[in-house]
């Protein structure tokens, strides 16, 4: 058995399993309720995380990892700790749109802050501004505050009902936040109408 397993190409096995995963995901999307989708998604995420960290592909160990992930998901669901905010599978598609945009904004801001630091006159105008937060869920509000903090030159200081107090390094950075492009994108990202 071990000689056979060593001769099998892992990429080939993955490509064989991929259509099965797509079918299961499609079935889960249209036939399962959100709680069941969260459990299955959490199980795959935990198993994938275990597989990446272990790096072991022996049949017994892979089976033990899958059983461990299944057991953890079962215990967590019995304890009712898998919820919409803790494992937001409903944001799946919008993440693929929002994260690349956020990475681009982070790179642009990092370049702007680098130019400011290198400039001998150090053209900074630090200020505190209140930014309107139009997000309706706590996940959306936290995502907006964290996105502001991840962007170099801005820092979320205080999150309140409907507003975020932001420290901006420059007046241009403050004006961009007050303009609200990031806020609109996060509101679209959270998917609540």
Say if residue 19 is in the same domain as residue 41. yes
Same domain membership, residue 123 and residue 179: yes
Let me know whether 8 and 39 are in one domain.
yes
Note whether 182 and 114 are same-domain residues. Answer: yes
Does residue 67 sit in the same domain as residue 110?
no
Domain boundary at 49, 78, 107, which? 78
146 found inside a domain = yes
- Is residue 86 in some structural domain? no
Whether 97 and 180 share a structural domain: yes
**Last-in-domain residue among 26, 46, 78:** 78
DSSP H or E stretch at residue 29: helix 10-31
95 shares a domain with 74: no
Residue 83 lies in a domain: no
Do both 100 and 178 map to the same domain?
yes
For residues 97 and 181, state if they share a domain. yes
Is 124 within the bounds of a domain? yes
The per-residue pLDDT string of the chain (193 residues; one tens digit each, 9 = 90 and over) reads: 556 556 556 666 665 566 666 666 666 665 667 677 778 888 888 888 888 888 888 888 888 888 888 888 889 888 888 776 666 766 777 888 899 999 999 999 999 999 999 988 888 999 999 999 999 888 889 999 999 999 999 999 999 888 999 999 999 999 999 998 999 999 988 876 5
Same domain for 122 and 60: no
Q: What is the pLDDT of residue 139?
A: 84
Q: Which domain holds residue 136?
A: 91-190
Q: Are residues 98 and 185 in the same domain?
A: yes
Give CA–CA dist 139/179, Å, rounded. Answer: 22
Supply 112's token pair.
């702007």
**85 assigned to some structural domain:** no
Print the SS3 string covering 160-179.
CCCEEEEEECCHHHHHHHHH
Domain identity same for 32 and 117: no
- What span, in angstroms and rounded, lies between the C-alpha atoms of 132 and 55? 46
Count: domains in the chain:
2
Residue that terminates a domain, selected from 53, 78, 103: 78
Residues 82, 37: contact at Cβ < 8 Å? no
Extended beta strands in the chain, E state: 127-132, 154-159, 163-168
Beta strands in 2-85 (DSSP E): none
């Amino acid at each position: 058995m071990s000689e056979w397993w060593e001769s099998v190409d892992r990429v080939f096995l993955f490509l064989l399993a991929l259509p099965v995963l797509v079918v299961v995901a499609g079935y889960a999307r249209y036939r399962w309720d959100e709680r069941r989708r969260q459990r299955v998604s959490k199980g795959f995420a935990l198993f994938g995380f275990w597989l990446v960290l272990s790096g072991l592909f022996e049949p017994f160990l892979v089976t033990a990892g899958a059983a461990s992930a299944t057991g953890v998901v079962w215990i967590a669901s019995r304890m009712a700790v898998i919820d919409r905010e803790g494992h937001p599978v409903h944001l799946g598609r919008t993440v693929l749109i929002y994260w690349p945009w956020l990475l681009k904004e982070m790179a642009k801001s990092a370049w702007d802050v680098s130019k400011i630091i290198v400039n001998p006159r150090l053209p900074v105008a630090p200020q505190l501004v209140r930014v309107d937060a139009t997000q309706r869920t706590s996940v959306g509000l936290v995502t907006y505050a964290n996105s502001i903090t991840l962007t170099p030159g801005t820092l979320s200081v205080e999150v309140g009902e409907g507003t975020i107090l932001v420290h901006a390094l420059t007046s241009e950075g403050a004006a961009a936040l007050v303009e609200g492009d990031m806020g609109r994108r996060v509101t679209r990202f959270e998917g609540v109408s």
